[in-house]
Chain A
Amino acid sequence: MTATDIHRTIDAVWRIESARLIAGLARMVRDVGLAEELAQDALVTALERWPESGVPDNPGAWLMTTAKHRAIDLLRRKKLIERKHESLAYESESDAVDSKSELETMLDDDIGDDLLRLIFTACHPVLSAEARAALTLRLLGGLTTDEIARAFLVPEPTISQRIVRAKRTLAEKQIPFEVPRGEERDERLASVLEVIYLIFNEGYAATSGDDWIRPELCNEAMRVGRVLAGLAPQEPEVFGLLALMEIQASRLRARTTAAGEPILLPDQDRSLWDPLLIRRGLTALERAEKLGGARTPYALQAAIAACHARARTADATDWNRIAALYAELTQVLPSPVVELNRAVAVSMASGPAAGLALIDALSDEPLLRNYHLLPSVRGDLLSRLQRHAEARDEFERAASMARNVRERHFLQRRAAACADAMRSPD
């Protein structure tokens, strides 16, 4: 292996091992930030040594042992050794570098619990949503700050700062490294799911920048979602979210032209939809429903996505069912954005005029004042009603509000098409 090969191998090993490594270390040192630094130190040591010694047979165990030794040194230096002595002595004795038994220990259920603790800690509501997202990608996804910065299109120092501050906040507020119980668990789980879906959505319909979709963020979110589903197999909302992400992601390849312009659902080439992800999404949805979660927000949204996935052609879409599901969704998740989507479904089921009536009821909604999809949907309905001049105005307004370049171009083209239709009415 060349040095480059070794580095690529180390990157790959890091991707696989880092979350478990950090989780295991956090249990020892009870500080997520410190655990992450220890894991990073072990990575640096690997980068120094492996090009000479070769990649060990069990790289994960090697990293864990190295990091544990560092942890012990550090705790000793910090004179915490008295308090930690017994547990650390035990951990230290059980170390066996490069042995299969170490890997087996790492693969046992304890690490699963540690990972779950890590997810709950990274997504603690004491942190801002942005900080939770960055920390989750860093600790659970094993992404570098540079990769996270590129994914969110912000400068690297911003992400770096955000993560440093988040770790400091967790330490200062003495957030325990644990899985919450009882009522708190539900609240905290909601926070975890929110972060995962935020990451997914930032990839699925990027709010800003040149690319409308960034699949790597979607993949990261799904990965964390699958990890969570494995760790919390009785939580219906986890499977609802996983179903929603997998079904939506099945359309990723069909949602843009080769040049990166958005393609709307009815115009997508459905043969490009990923059948494996659809199948997995539907299975997850079934699971959510079996666990009693059919009427939860994520499962309802997944059920809507499933209606599209089941339709062989756009014309075959069961819009009545979709409109009914949106009506249910407005009950459990009252939000003007959901209402806007319901209006679209109603317009497809019962005609554009019915949809427009619902949209117009939203025109004074303060939460939608800067939301480009409101004029965009309104423009679409107006153009279907042949009211081209009004439609053009709406698309222009939407274009001026859209922050994503691709979306803005798309809306400008639609405005131009309306202008054409005004000149040559058919």
Chain B
Amino acid sequence: MRFMMLMFPADQCNAAPDALPSAEAVEQMMRFNKSLQEAGVLLALDGLHPPSAGARVSIVDGKVRVVDGPFAEAKEVVGGYWIIDVGSRDEAIAWASRCPIGAGNTIEVRQVFEMTEFPPELRKAAEGFDDPRRPAAS
């Protein structure tokens, strides 16, 4: 079973656009990442720039609205994610529990949809999409 662990760092909402995590935080996180890798469960991971360097795009009254970060109204913003392959939801939670998150930070554990979970009509609707992760045709 594949899960995404989404990290919601509390201090990320108002972090400066060029803010970087401390060396100590990175070192701790790398140790956690390494433990995921050594256990053979880590499939992918990424960390994100702060939202103040990002933008939010929405449709308001039929028009595209773009709001530059930081987002004053946002209570939680994503700071990064891991994708892990584990035997159960409990195991995903156990891994998230081991992550060295500081006080106030949150990790959300969500199962990743697999194509086979979709009924045929939904799969049909997804047809023709060339997944970018697939290798280029040789």
Show the binding face of A for B, using Cβ within 8 Å.
8-9, 11-13, 15-16, 19, 59-60, 104, 107, 112, 115, 216, 219, 222-227, 230-231, 253, 269, 271-276, 278-280, 282, 306-307, 309-312, 316, 318
Contacts and interface: CB of A to CB of B under 8 A. Distances in A.
A13 B94 contact: yes
Nearest to B1: A219
A281 B35 CA distance: 21
30 contacts: A9-B90, A9-B93, A12-B90, A12-B91, A12-B94, A15-B88, A16-B94, A16-B95, A59-B94, A107-B31, A107-B35, A115-B38, A222-B85, A223-B41, A226-B42, A230-B37, A231-B38, A271-B126, A272-B116, A273-B134, A275-B131, A275-B133, A276-B43, A278-B135, A279-B134, A282-B135, A309-B135, A310-B137, A312-B137, A318-B138
B87 A219 contact: yes
A280 B41 CA distance: 13
Nearest to B133: A275
B68 to A, nearest CB: 32
A219 B85 contact: yes
Contacts of A226: 37, 40-42
B14 to A, nearest CB: 28
Contacts of B138: 307, 310-311, 318
A19 B38 CA distance: 11
B65 interface: no
A112 B38 contact: yes
A60 B85 CA distance: 20
Contacts of A60: 98
Contact of A224 (B40, B86, B123, B129): B40
Contacts of B116: 253, 272
A306 B136 CA distance: 11
B126 to A, nearest CB: 7
Given A219-B87, A226-B40, A227-B40, A311 B137 contact: yes
A25 B49 CA distance: 42
B34 interface: yes
B74 interface: no
Nearest to B132: A275
A271 B38 contact: no
Contacts of B86: 15
B114 interface: yes
Interface string B79-105: 000010111101101110010000000
B95 A222 contact: no
A379 to B, nearest CB: 30
Nearest to A60: B98
